[in-house]
Amino acid sequence: VIPQMRKRRAGTIINVTSSVTLGPIPLAAAYTASKAAIEGFTGSLALELGFFGVQAKLVEPGYGPSTQFASNGAERIAGLIPPEYEDFAAPIMSGFGEQGLITTPEDVADTVYRAVLDTSGRLRFPAGADAVALAQAH
């Protein structure tokens, strides 16, 4: 789609990453690194495509316990905590179920919509109360 957007000199690319890029959390190093890579890519892409009138932006959702992603993630990490990390990981894992602020699918959809319509040149858009709180803390 980029060649077509460049030709039209218009368009917006939205990459969805994660609020893990807004502040470090334990037991998520590889996940955070993968999301940080997308953030770096998108930041550079925004600069490159801006010359052509095309925007690239980031939406950074927080923890969404009601999504399929949350349940899939729990299944994937089951049994992957090495014995040396069990005492460290136990309170962290149980704390995931006790989140106060969360992100809903509607939060993400609303934030994508706002990002597409935004004309300020802003790159990052946290989505959900928890992501917004993290962004404001850093």
The fold of the 2-137 domain, in CATH, is Rossmann fold (3.40.50)
- For the residues of 76-124, what is the DSSP string, one character each? HHTT-S-GGGHHHHHHHHHHHTT-SS---HHHHHHHHHHHHH--S---E
Full-model pTM: 0.86
CA distances from 137 to 38, 80, 117, 128, 132 (A): 22, 31, 25, 14, 9
pLDDT of 95: 72
Calculate the average pLDDT of the chain: 89
pLDDT of 86: 87
75-88 confidence digits (pLDDT tens)? 666 678 888 988 99
From 61, 59, 57, 60, select the one nearest 121 (Cα to Cα). 57
Helix (H) or strand (E) holding 13: strand 12-16
Highest mean predicted confidence (pLDDT) among 18-22, 71-75, 97-101: 18-22
Instruction: Return the SS3 of 82.
Output: coil
